[in-house]
């Protein structure tokens, strides 16, 4: 198979696979390092490499869930509060093998605009998603409200900012996840 065929297959078969679809099996830490190493090769203007990652192994995921539940109970207005949502916060992530906090540390000299730094982090996450797909694992980038204010829980450095969580797990057998995209010709103009 030619390289372009491999790349096409991985890109076009990538799907968000959510924690309830995971088996609960633990992925080897060496595999997590491989995923992060590929993230590290994302494009970055002026080589600022703004991405930072905090790996939360399965044993620590329950404490993240409790942090999220406490935050939700404290900051959700009564009229928007849902016991079902609270239960999901406490249980949904538990089948993940690892959760990676996706963080950013902006170039201290601000040599590039903020949107370029955030875009570089997003490219790093895409590399993670493609690597997870190529490995036959499941992955999902989520931005629960509590993750965006979890500085103390995640032990972030002063200038770091969390942009969400990337869940990684072993998908259950037999998942049939269809993808769909609109026609690219309807979204493209040539000059």
Give just the sign of the alpha carbon dihedral 13, 165, 122, 74.
Answer: positive
Task: With a cut of 80, say whether residue 157 has pLDDT above it.
Answer: yes
Cβ neighbors of 157 (< 8 A, separation 6 or more) are 105
Cβ neighbors of 112 (< 8 A, separation 6 or more) are 45, 46, 48
pLDDT at res. 186: 97
- The DSSP 8-state label assigned to residue 76 in this structure reads S
Task: With a cut of 80, say whether residue 82 has pLDDT above it.
Answer: yes
pLDDT at res. 69: 98
Asked whether the whole model's pTM tops 0.85, one would answer yes
CATH number at 16-187: 3.40.109.10
Integer Cα distance of 156 and 124 in angstroms: 19
- CB 43, CB 118: distance < 8 Å: no
Instruction: Output the DSSP codes for 119-152.
Output: HHHHHHHHHHHHHHHHTT-EEEEE--GGGGG-HH
Question: How confident is the model over 14-34, as a mean pLDDT?
Answer: 97
Within 10 angstroms of residue 88's Cβ, the number of other Cβ atoms is 18
Task: With a cut of 80, say whether residue 154 has pLDDT above it.
Answer: yes
pLDDT at res. 176: 87
pLDDT at res. 1: 77
3 burial via Cβ count (<10 Å: 0-12, 13-18, 19+): exposed
């Amino acid at each position: 198979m030619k390289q372009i065929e491999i790349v096409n297959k991985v890109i076009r078969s990538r799907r968000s696979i959510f924690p309830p679809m995971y088996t609960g099996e633990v992925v080897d830490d060496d595999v997590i390092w491989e995923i992060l190493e590929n993230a590290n090769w994302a494009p970055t203007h002026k080589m600022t490499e703004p991405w930072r990652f905090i790996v939360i192994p399965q044993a620590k995921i329950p404490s993240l869930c409790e942090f999220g539940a406490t935050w939700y109970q404290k900051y959700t207005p009564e009229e928007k509060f849902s016991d079902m949502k609270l239960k999901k916060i406490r249980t949904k992530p538990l089948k993940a093998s690892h959760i990676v906090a996706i963080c950013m540390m902006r170039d201290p000299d601000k040599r590039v605009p903020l949107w370029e730094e955030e875009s570089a982090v997003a490219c790093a996450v895409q590399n993670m998603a493609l690597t997870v797909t190529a490995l036959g694992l499941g992955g999902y980038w989520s931005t629960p409200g509590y993750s965006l204010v979890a500085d103390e829980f995640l032990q972030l450095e002063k200038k770091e900012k969390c942009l969400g969580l990337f869940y990684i797990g072993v998908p259950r057998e037999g998942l049939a996840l269809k993808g769909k995209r609109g026609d690219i010709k309807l979204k493209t103009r040539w000059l």
